[in-house]
Structure 1
Amino acid sequence: MSATPREPRKDGEATRQRILQAAGELFAAVGYAEASNKAVAAKADVDLASINYHFGSRNGLYLAVLDEARRRFLDIADLQRIVLGEQPATEKLRALVELVVHKAAQSRDNWHLRVLAAEILAPSPHGQAHLQAERPMKLSLLKTLFSEITAIPVDDPALTRCILCVTAPWAMLLIGPRGASGALHEILDMPADAVCTHLYHFALAGLQATGQHHARQQGL
């Protein structure tokens, strides 16, 4: 006689989210190495078996936390939606800058950005490889957008340099506020629209100047 399939507990997703939240807060506060499953279970008010049931292992839990943090900051779906849209390239750039700035401001006081910053500054055994899995697609999308603005072919190394120059301030909004004070905190206290406008015009001017320089080099 076959066993009757056990129905999933109705509170299963709520428990999973509670564990994810507790783990995110602990990983942000003390880092991957110091946040044990026992501490996470105590903070989430669950037993250790619940962590293994929902995430498989401590490493699985950490990767799920990184996924949630990355989704809150800049999900690949957000980038695809903007870059592959129908609006002019300059409007796409503006939309992307606005998305990054507003997400950085919204996430300033929660664990999501702090977890990502901690992983970047002090990589864990598995976190970097997990975060880098989407990197080729993100680079391809950014090259596509910047190529539209500069008229530089997508396979030209100049576009890789453009990505570094344009996205470095975005990375600083992510990494800088972690345990620090000063200019970055001052910027995050400014009106988001003002920050967006400044970063957009700065990036656009740099991209356009690079495109013009490339055209002169090619004799166009």
Structure 2
Amino acid sequence: MTKAPRGLRTDGEVTRARILDAAGQLFAASGYAETTSKAIAAAASADQASINYHFGSRSGLYEAVLADAHRRLVSLEELQRLAGSPIPAAQKLRLLIEQLVHQAVGNPEGWHIKVLAQELMTPTSHLHALFKDELLPKVAVITRLLSDITAIPLDDPALTRCLLNVVAPCLMLVISTRGIPGPLREILHMPQATIVQHLHSFALAGLQAIAEEYAANASC
């Protein structure tokens, strides 16, 4: 049996990708509850049986869309390559923030950002699957990076608080793409380099302060 050349997708893979993209755009525009399998099939030039074949159900398709959206924001492979690079930990943090800002600010009209923002603002039961399958492995990598910066042990609750402080501003940038008025919308019009520099300086200063506090308490 001959195999398809590497790098070329099969008809099934092409159909799956087409359904995923069509569903992502519709979910971003109308939300999960208002988007039907029939509408997705029509937008993808496919039949509803193809949705069930590739994703099991509309619910399974939505979870796949959320997972794909989060990978576009930042993939586990990208994080692992960054974590394993020889550059200083503080620079790794800057590159991570740069990636997140670029995705949120540089491509605010992308359906993956809109879908994630929508899920964060009005969570569905599918958020649990996203957290377990996509977020937890990435959180583990980022937490280890913060441990390298602060010298706080991985199992210490202080590191979890640091994670919240570093990640929360980036999540707020994602949410801002949903058209929330006020300062968040203003930030979207600022130069990306300015946003990255601010978030990195702010995060690094906070991490260094917590690291000093942790070291002082540990020596008592």
Q: TM-score, normalised by structure 2?
A: 0.88
Indicate the residue corresponding to 2:172 in structure 1.
172
Structure 2 residue aligned with 1:191: 191
User: Shift of the alpha carbon at 1:164?
Assistant: 0.7
Match of 1:112 in 2: 112
Alignment of 1:1-220 (within 5 A): 11-125=11-125, 127-133=126-132, 134-219=134-219
1 CA distance for matches of 2:106 and 2:204?
24
Deviation at 1:200, TM superposition (A): 0.6
Q: How many Å separate the matches in 2 of 1:11 and 1:43? A: 17
Deviation of the 1:10 alpha carbon: 5.3
Identity of aligned residues (%): 52
**Which amino acid is 1:27 matched to?**
F
Which stretch shifts more, 179-188 or 73-82? 179-188
Letter in 2 for 1:199: L
**In structure 1, what is the Cα distance between the partners aligned to 2:210 and 2:129?**
33
* TM-fit CA distance, 1:192: 1.0
Unmatched 5+ stretches in structure 1:
1-6
Secondary structure of 1:180's aligned partner? coil
Q: Tell me the SS of whatever aligns to 2:14.
A: helix
| TM-score, structure 1 as length reference | 0.88
Distance of 1:15 and 1:92 partners within structure 2: 37
**What secondary structure sits across from 1:123 in the alignment?**
coil
SS in 2 for 1:218: helix
- Quickly say closer, same or farther: Cα 1:60–1:96, change in 2 above 3 A: same
Q: State the aligned residue count.
A: 212
> In structure 2, what is the Cα distance between the partners aligned to 1:29 and 1:195?
27
SS at 2:87's partner residue? coil
Q: Give the Cα–Cα distance (whole angstroms) in 2 for the partners of residues 10 and 100 of structure 1.
A: 32
Residues 85, 177 of structure 1: alpha-carbon distance in 2 compared, 3 angstrom cutoff: same
Separation in structure 2 between the aligned mates of residue 50 and residue 138 of structure 1, nearest angstrom: 31
Structure showing greater Rg: 1
Q: CA RMSD in A?
A: 2.0
1:38 to 1:99, Cα distance in 2 relative to 1, 3 A? same
Give, as a single letter, the amino acid of the residue that structure 2 aligns with 1:42.
A
